[in-house]
Amino acid sequence: MSTEMSKYVLMLLESYNERARKIAVLRYNLEHPAKVSRSEQIEAMNFGHGDGLDHSAGHISNKTLYIALNYEEQAERMNAESAHEIAKELFALECEQRRLTYFIGLLDKRQAEVIRLVFVDGIPTKEVAASFGLTYRTIDRIKRTAIENLAEMYAYSDQFRV
């Protein structure tokens, strides 16, 4: 099996919890998008100033009127773009997480349990060995074999991905 694919699988396993956190944050951001209120908009326009050209003191620039009239449309477009970017990133992370979780589920029971305990639950290999009543080396061998099996699954699966 390719050592590159094994390294990739190990990286995915080691970043499992970080990816789960990112997924949770993105879901929250998608469900609770940041919006600029009308009062914040008006306040921003009050303190905004141009370069001082092409208008007299006390005169409101046509640019300010144009910005005020089109603000809501622009804000909605920007909010939609932001939501689209969040959804795109969320989709990619969730797909990778589901794929990894599914492949872990295809391992034999003991390998899957060791992988979950070590990488998902973050339990040190020594403690996992003690809980199984096995030596550190045995658990480490099970973990390495599981990573190799996952790498084979990824390599095989990638042959059919477009």
pLDDT at 37: 60
Q: Is residue 127 part of a domain?
A: yes
Q: Which residues, 6 or more positions from 75, have their beta carbon under 8 angstroms from its beta carbon? A: 35, 36, 41
Residue 57, domain extent:
3-157
pLDDT of 125-149, one tens digit each?
999 999 999 999 999 999 999 999 9
Q: Is residue 11 part of a domain?
A: yes
3-state secondary structure of 1: coil
Q: Is residue 73 part of a domain?
A: yes
Residue 45 falls inside a structural domain:
yes
Overall domain count for the chain: 1
pTM, entire model: 0.75
pLDDT score of 33? 78
Whether residue 162 lies inside any domain: the answer is no
Q: What is the pLDDT of residue 162?
A: 72
Amino acid at 151: A
Q: How confident is the model at residue 10 (pLDDT cuts 50, 70, 90)?
A: very high
pLDDT tens for 60-107 read: 566 666 666 667 777 777 778 888 999 999 999 999 999 999 999 999
